């Protein structure tokens, strides 16, 4: 199995096996020093001069260019900033502009809720009788019709890990005259990505890209379309010349127009460190290693935990870098597992979810995790009252 030297670049607390990088990646060891340097040498010493002298103003596109090869697109087509919800809103609003005579937004019931919530809010805001239709993941292609303006999907189902075929679905959307938006939150940094000519993609940087809680999101726009986009969120820093302080908005050049607010400079210092880890990584090797780890985990759990039912696709090529098991007391069981040193997470109604990131996990971690989970399940440690009360974050 391929061994990744990057394991030494991450801090994992002693005594823990971290199987939740699909929700929040661990901190790269170089982040504290880099962030402190930004605070003291840049903000501290340069003050407002840091926008020019430290290059803060250029961070959204500079970092976007580093994300571009990770998601399989060209430099100059990705901008970083704001939150994933904001980027979903931007992409969907722009997509509807490109298809003004159609009213149907198609998604699936495995899409992450924020994408659906933002679509509902946009529909209410623009007031043009658009409708959001959600179907089972297997019914997406058959539901694309001549009134479909946009197909908006998350590539990996956040609960089960089910993986959509970007090529087939994008081709079907385009054949019907629809615009394609992919949410890459659960695939960017986990596997090679082929957007297959999709018009838009969005994603976050705090999961597999390990930039930290609240790290900024990114948006991709296909280069041949970007100059036609009139941003619905026409923020100051998306203006063509923000320091001319004009009274009316003029969209910036190319991907710059998809910027909205002030860049989160401190958080981007963390993102810069995290992205530096990717310079010499082969995503195909990473994906192969992830599959081997997840297959080992599934085999181990199914051999020792008969009460857990695999909720992810059996075929490793049909799922992302996560594995989910269903259990009717899944929340309590996951709390017990975490309490005994294996961190995963829970997704309602009954999903115990585990992520596999070979950058900092190896076979010995997987075997140890299986042993701990088996102990929790066979001894029914999850029945302890202290595991029954749900926290706000699950």
- When divided into structural domains, the chain yields a total of 2
CA dist list (Å): 168 to 53, 147, 154, 198, 208: 46, 19, 14, 11, 25
Domain end marker among 276, 307, 326: 276
Given the residues 18, 89, 112, 387, the one annotated as active site: 112
353 is known as an active-site residue: yes
In a domain, 211, yes or no: yes
Looking at the structure, do residues 138 and 200 belong to the same domain, yes or no? Answer: yes
Looking at the structure, do residues 176 and 304 belong to the same domain, yes or no? Answer: no
- CA 260, 261, 265, 267 torsion-angle sign: negative
- Measured distance CA(319)–CA(162) in Å, rounded: 4
Interval 128-186: pLDDT, tens: 999 999 999 999 999 999 999 999 999 999 999 999 999 999 999 999 999 999 999 99
183 is known as an active-site residue: yes
Looking at the structure, do residues 15 and 36 belong to the same domain, yes or no? Answer: no
Looking at the structure, do residues 169 and 316 belong to the same domain, yes or no? Answer: no
Interval 28-80: pLDDT, tens: 999 999 999 999 999 999 999 999 999 999 999 999 999 999 999 999 999 99
Domain end marker among 216, 241, 276: 276
Given the residues 162, 207, 287, 319, the one annotated as active site: 207
131 is known as an active-site residue: no
Interval 196-246: pLDDT, tens: 999 999 999 999 999 999 999 999 999 999 999 999 999 999 999 999 999
- Measured distance CA(367)–CA(63) in Å, rounded: 36
Q: Which domain holds residue 17?
A: 5-28+282-387
Helix (H, G, I), strand (E, B) or coil at 145: coil
């Amino acid at each position: 199995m391929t061994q990744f030297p990057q394991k030494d670049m991450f801090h994992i607390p002693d005594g823990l096996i971290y199987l939740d990088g699909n929700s929040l990646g661990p901190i790269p060891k170089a982040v504290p020093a880099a962030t402190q340097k930004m605070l003291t040498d840049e903000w501290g010493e340069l003050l407002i001069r840091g926008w020019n002298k430290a290059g803060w103003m250029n961070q959204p596109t500079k970092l976007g260019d580093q994300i571009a090869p990770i998601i399989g697109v060209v430099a100059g087509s990705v901008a970083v900033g704001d939150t994933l919800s904001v980027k979903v809103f931007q992409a969907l609003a722009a997509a509807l502009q490109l298809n003004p005579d159609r009213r149907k937004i198609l998604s699936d019931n495995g899409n992450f809720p924020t994408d659906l919530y933002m679509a509902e809010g946009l529909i209410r805001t623009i007031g043009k009788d658009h409708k959001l239709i959600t179907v089972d993941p297997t019914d997406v292609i058959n539901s694309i019709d001549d009134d479909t303006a946009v197909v908006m999907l998350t590539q990996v189902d956040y609960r089960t890990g089910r993986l959509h075929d970007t090529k087939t679905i994008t081709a079907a959307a385009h054949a019907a005259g629809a615009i394609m938006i992919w949410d890459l939150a659960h695939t960017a940094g986990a596997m090679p990505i082929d957007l297959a000519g999709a018009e838009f993609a969005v994603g976050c940087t705090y999961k597999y890209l390990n930039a930290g809680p609240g790290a900024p999101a990114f948006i991709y726009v296909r280069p041949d379309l970007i100059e036609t986009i009139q941003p619905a969120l026409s923020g100051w820093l998306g203006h063509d010349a923000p320091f001319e302080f004009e009274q009316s908005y003029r969209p910036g050049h190319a991907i710059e127009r998809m910027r909205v607010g002030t860049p989160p400079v401190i958080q981007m210092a963390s993102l810069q460190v995290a992205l530096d880890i990717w310079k010499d990584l082969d995503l195909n090797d990473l994906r192969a290693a992830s599959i081997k780890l997840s297959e080992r985990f599934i085999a181990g759990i199914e051999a020792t935990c008969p009460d857990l039912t695999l909720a992810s696709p059996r075929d490793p090529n049909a799922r992302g870098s996560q594995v989910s098991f269903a259990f009717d007391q899944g929340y309590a069981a996951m709390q017990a597992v975490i309490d005994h040193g294996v961190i995963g997470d829970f997704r309602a109604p009954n999903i115990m979810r585990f992520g596999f990131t070979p950058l900092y996990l190896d076979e010995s971690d997987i075997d140890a995790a299986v042993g701990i989970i088996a102990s929790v399940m066979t001894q029914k440690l999850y029945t302890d009252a202290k595991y029954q009360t749900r926290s706000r974050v699950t």
